[in-house]
A and B are shown apart, each in its own frame.
Chain A
């Protein structure tokens, strides 16, 4: 029998970016807030100090900051005809663990989605007609618009001190910024980062071809910054250990560097670490959440009641916990009915390597979101007529730093080992760069999440099963982006280029992105979505579900900016409306 604790006003399940944002907002509103985190406490000085943070083996290859698959993983397969097997070793994506979650080892690439991204279905139908969206493509409008989210994007950018250059200020196109972005009320809080040689060469070539290169919006600080909560971040030192690493220098926005110093001091906030929620418990009507059950570090089962529950863990755990708790109808790919697990999507990437003879590029100088990009082929920024796909992505040079175990750019035809490999890497390492493409993944009827029938986690609960593959839409789109990247690469007059297309089925082995989306999607109709525009469960009105699990499909940008904006929008709806009259907000 689980020990039962006194009730709290609000409970966060998971304590990464959205847990910290929501706890900050709800404690400001006067609630007694408790956060439960399954990982351990983690702070900069103890876990990733500058004296040992730059350790490629420990943090990336040995996964020191990432989720442990021994504890919990997903089973994976490309389609329903295959038997799903567990991802035994992390690869394609790297969920975080501990306080701060994946927001500790993210790059800091902080985007707003395009206005048309939020109305992907109606926009594409209107512009290209009914044939543009095949029956098997299950994309939906979000039920929320860019204009609705603009103030919340702005709030997150200010919290983090995002470095960037506006391209559209209140409808006026700004030189040097991204002219395709939605209108912004304000300029970025910090100027763009200083650019190293590779992004600069890309921008010169792209400009020469008539495109509009702009600095990537970055949560790496271009200068010291004190945020609205009074927390100070320091200037980035371009050490090149940002992507897949934690920053020891307080130069990358994370829960630790923006919110926790203030939140942890509040008398109405408590955090319990190493407490894993195993179930959300409902009352007999099934329409109200009354408590959660968790297992603490000692293995003891505890029941924690709460008036309001906010699910703030990573998308994959969010969806699994809903399924395990019997909240919402599970999605059935045969009938298309049900919502939990529906519209799982991901990201599709490719690259073009450039090898120079005459340019020393010092590729180890970098930061997580240190790049120059073009957005000409993202979303619906270009005419898709006759192309056979919808959606797009950005193209450019994001120079995160060439860590040497991971980065072995060698020309086509070079063996993977031996004397010829050694000669090639020695000759090319300092003179090589790469143009990346980062594309959207639309949702499709056969791509979904459910509970695995065979494999179990350490507590004996079913693992989440992921059924996912790229479809023709993604491959055509990614090939199109890769061709555009190659055009720009050729204009850069390198000795040679090497084109790395994304071919075949999705493969769990090579790292791609930690941009998993969907499975508890938002929308305006309870029969086709799991949560409403405020991320409130349609079925259980005192439960809110944060995160990219709400994305009905995945646009061509990195997700964190939108994840945070949706959290702020949800917090505003809770504090301004829900607390006055608890119940359905839509």
Chain B
């Protein structure tokens, strides 16, 4: 990411309406001999932080996430589930970054719940929604006298609770339970099936489950081979599983 783009990003994240901002860089002018190609400046993706500490979640939040995603995509005889595929780490790193801060989203008021057809209308960022909702979920579990937290419930009770969240049938301290569940499920799917550089889909478990070959660049040879099983193993942006594993 170069300076020109950073300057715009600063404008965007200022949040409030901009009236005057400090001069960072002048606008870039291109043309004639100044064709803006610069060698070796690829805007490559940023891989996840591979450390073992949580970047966003508290230990209690991490316990909820780990328990919940284990029910959303469970480990079974078909193979690893969301936990084994690193989905909790994926969600943690996403929430600690630009996505968690809602950096790209319009976050100015006034706020109103709106209609379902009007989409996301909470003033919480994605990271903020997780923080508030997990606290409210565990409070609801306590209120219903079912033990200390969601993570400590039996699997069948966790499933039943998640089904209620899905329908919006849990009082979550004024939060939209349905919206939180939808976001949790979406982020779980993202972690299970995105490129492994983001911390999920460990050993390409998600891709192997369904037979998706990953970031394959050239399928020309296979377009016209109708009905034949695709023979190649999955590959990610950083290469095949065997190459990535150290």
Q: Which residues of A contact B (CB under 8 A)?
A: 40-41, 43, 45-47, 49-52, 54-58, 61-63, 68-71, 73, 76-78, 82-83, 85-89, 91, 194-197, 200, 235, 237-241, 249, 264-267, 269-275, 296-300, 359-362, 364-365, 402, 404-405, 408, 416-419, 421-423, 425-426, 429-430, 454-456, 458-460, 504-509
Q: Which of A58, A78, A505 has the most CB of B within 10 A?
A: A58
Determine which of A46, A421, A430 lies in contact with B38 in the assembled complex, contact meaning CB atoms within 8 Å: A46
Contacts of B110 in A (CB 8 A): 454
Contact between chains at A238 and B105 (CB < 8 Å): no
Sampled A-B contacts (13; CB under 8 Å): A56-B195, A69-B105, A85-B114, A87-B106, A88-B107, A194-B223, A237-B219, A273-B30, A296-B27, A404-B212, A419-B74, A508-B117, A508-B119
Determine which of B20, B81, B189 lies in contact with A408 in the assembled complex, contact meaning CB atoms within 8 Å: B189
Contacts A43-B37, A275-B27 given: A426-B210 contact, CB under 8 Å?
yes
Contacts A429-B210, A456-B17 given: A194-B224 contact, CB under 8 Å?
yes
Question: What is the distance, in angstroms, from B31's C-beta to the closest C-beta of chain A?
Answer: 4
Contacts of A426 in B (CB 8 A): 78, 209-210
Contact between chains at A458 and B118 (CB < 8 Å): no
Contact between chains at B27 and A273 (CB < 8 Å): yes
A55 CA / B206 CA spacing, docked (Å):
15
Determine which of A56, A298, A402 lies in contact with B26 in the assembled complex, contact meaning CB atoms within 8 Å: A298
Question: Which B-chain residue is minimally distant from A35 (CB atoms)?
Answer: B31
Contact between chains at B11 and A419 (CB < 8 Å): no
Contacts A46-B43, A458-B18 given: A274-B4 contact, CB under 8 Å?
yes
Question: Which B-chain residue is minimally distant from A40 (CB atoms)?
Answer: B5
A91 CA / B118 CA spacing, docked (Å):
10
Contact between chains at B32 and A267 (CB < 8 Å): yes
Determine which of B12, B106, B209, B213 lies in contact with A88 in the assembled complex, contact meaning CB atoms within 8 Å: B106
Contact between chains at B18 and A269 (CB < 8 Å): no
Question: What is the distance, in angstroms, from B192's C-beta to the closest C-beta of chain A?
Answer: 8
Contact between chains at B119 and A54 (CB < 8 Å): no
Q: Which of A69, A361, A362 has the most CB of B within 10 A?
A: A362
Contact between chains at A297 and B25 (CB < 8 Å): yes
A253 CA / B228 CA spacing, docked (Å):
30
Question: What is the distance, in angstroms, from A123's C-beta to the closest C-beta of chain B?
Answer: 33
The 6 closest A-B pairs by CB, nearest first: A299-B21, A296-B27, A429-B210, A57-B194, A54-B215, A270-B31
Question: What is the distance, in angstroms, from A511's C-beta to the closest C-beta of chain B?
Answer: 12
Contact between chains at A298 and B25 (CB < 8 Å): yes
Question: What is the distance, in angstroms, from B128's C-beta to the closest C-beta of chain A?
Answer: 14
Contact between chains at B227 and A70 (CB < 8 Å): no
Determine which of A200, A405, A459 lies in contact with B190 in the assembled complex, contact meaning CB atoms within 8 Å: A405
Contact between chains at A41 and B36 (CB < 8 Å): yes
Determine which of A239, A265, A504 lies in contact with B32 in the assembled complex, contact meaning CB atoms within 8 Å: A265
Instruction: Say what secondary structure dominates the interface of chain B.
Output: loop
Determine which of A40, A56, A266, A362 lies in contact with B193 in the assembled complex, contact meaning CB atoms within 8 Å: A56
Contact between chains at B43 and A272 (CB < 8 Å): no
Contact between chains at A239 and B218 (CB < 8 Å): yes
A241 CA / B29 CA spacing, docked (Å):
31
Determine which of B27, B105, B106, B112 lies in contact with A83 in the assembled complex, contact meaning CB atoms within 8 Å: B112
Determine which of A89, A272, A507 lies in contact with B120 in the assembled complex, contact meaning CB atoms within 8 Å: A89
Contact between chains at A269 and B99 (CB < 8 Å): no
Question: Which B-chain residue is minimally distant from A370 (CB atoms)?
Answer: B223
Say if the beta carbon of B154 comes within 8 Å of chain A: no
Question: What is the distance, in angstroms, from A185's C-beta to the closest C-beta of chain B?
Answer: 30
Determine which of B11, B32, B43 lies in contact with A47 in the assembled complex, contact meaning CB atoms within 8 Å: B43
Determine which of A238, A270, A402, A456 lies in contact with B223 in the assembled complex, contact meaning CB atoms within 8 Å: A238
Contact between chains at B223 and A274 (CB < 8 Å): no
Contacts of B24 in A (CB 8 A): 297-299
Determine which of B23, B117, B228 lies in contact with A299 in the assembled complex, contact meaning CB atoms within 8 Å: B23
A196 CA / B222 CA spacing, docked (Å):
8
Contacts of B108 in A (CB 8 A): 86, 455-456
Say if the beta carbon of B130 comes within 8 Å of chain A: no
A267 CA / B188 CA spacing, docked (Å):
51
Contacts of A360 in B (CB 8 A): 227-229
A425 CA / B198 CA spacing, docked (Å):
22
Question: What is the distance, in angstroms, from B221's C-beta to the closest C-beta of chain A?
Answer: 9
Task: Tell me which residues from 177 to 233 in chain B have a Cβ below 8 Å from any Cβ of chain A.
Answer: 185, 188-190, 193-195, 198, 206-207, 209-220, 222-224, 226-230
A239 CA / B212 CA spacing, docked (Å):
12
Question: Which B-chain residue is minimally distant from A458 (CB atoms)?
Answer: B18
A69 CA / B212 CA spacing, docked (Å):
32
Contacts A41-B36, A57-B190, A197-B226 given: A237-B17 contact, CB under 8 Å?
no
Question: What is the distance, in angstroms, from A98's C-beta to the closest C-beta of chain B?
Answer: 9
Contacts of A423 in B (CB 8 A): 76, 78
Apart from A196-B223, A459-B18, what 4 extra A-B contacts exist at CB < 8 Å? Answer: A88-B107, A194-B224, A270-B32, A298-B26
Contacts of B8 in A (CB 8 A): 40, 274, 297
Contacts of A73 in B (CB 8 A): 106
Contact between chains at B207 and A269 (CB < 8 Å): no
Say if the beta carbon of B139 comes within 8 Å of chain A: no
A266 CA / B32 CA spacing, docked (Å):
5
Question: Which A-chain residue is minimally distant from B36 (CB atoms)?
Answer: A41
Contact between chains at A364 and B213 (CB < 8 Å): yes
Contacts of A58 in B (CB 8 A): 45
Contacts of B162 in A (CB 8 A): 417
A421 CA / B82 CA spacing, docked (Å):
13
Contact between chains at A404 and B118 (CB < 8 Å): no
Contacts A269-B32, A458-B14 given: A239-B20 contact, CB under 8 Å?
no
Say if the beta carbon of B50 comes within 8 Å of chain A: no
Contact between chains at A68 and B104 (CB < 8 Å): yes
Contacts of B5 in A (CB 8 A): 40
A154 CA / B115 CA spacing, docked (Å):
45
Contacts of B20 in A (CB 8 A): 299
Question: What is the distance, in angstroms, from B220's C-beta to the closest C-beta of chain A?
Answer: 5
Question: Which B-chain residue is minimally distant from A469 (CB atoms)?
Answer: B117
A82 CA / B207 CA spacing, docked (Å):
43
Say if the beta carbon of B246 comes within 8 Å of chain A: no
Contacts of B58 in A (CB 8 A): none
Contact between chains at A87 and B44 (CB < 8 Å): no
Contacts of B195 in A (CB 8 A): 55-57
Contacts A54-B237, A58-B45, A297-B25 given: A404-B193 contact, CB under 8 Å?
yes
Contacts A63-B104, A87-B106 given: A365-B115 contact, CB under 8 Å?
no
A56 CA / B198 CA spacing, docked (Å):
11
Question: What is the distance, in angstroms, from B197's C-beta to the closest C-beta of chain A?
Answer: 8
Contacts of A47 in B (CB 8 A): 43
Contacts of A459 in B (CB 8 A): 17-18
Question: What is the distance, in angstroms, from B48's C-beta to the closest C-beta of chain A?
Answer: 11
Contact between chains at B27 and A85 (CB < 8 Å): no
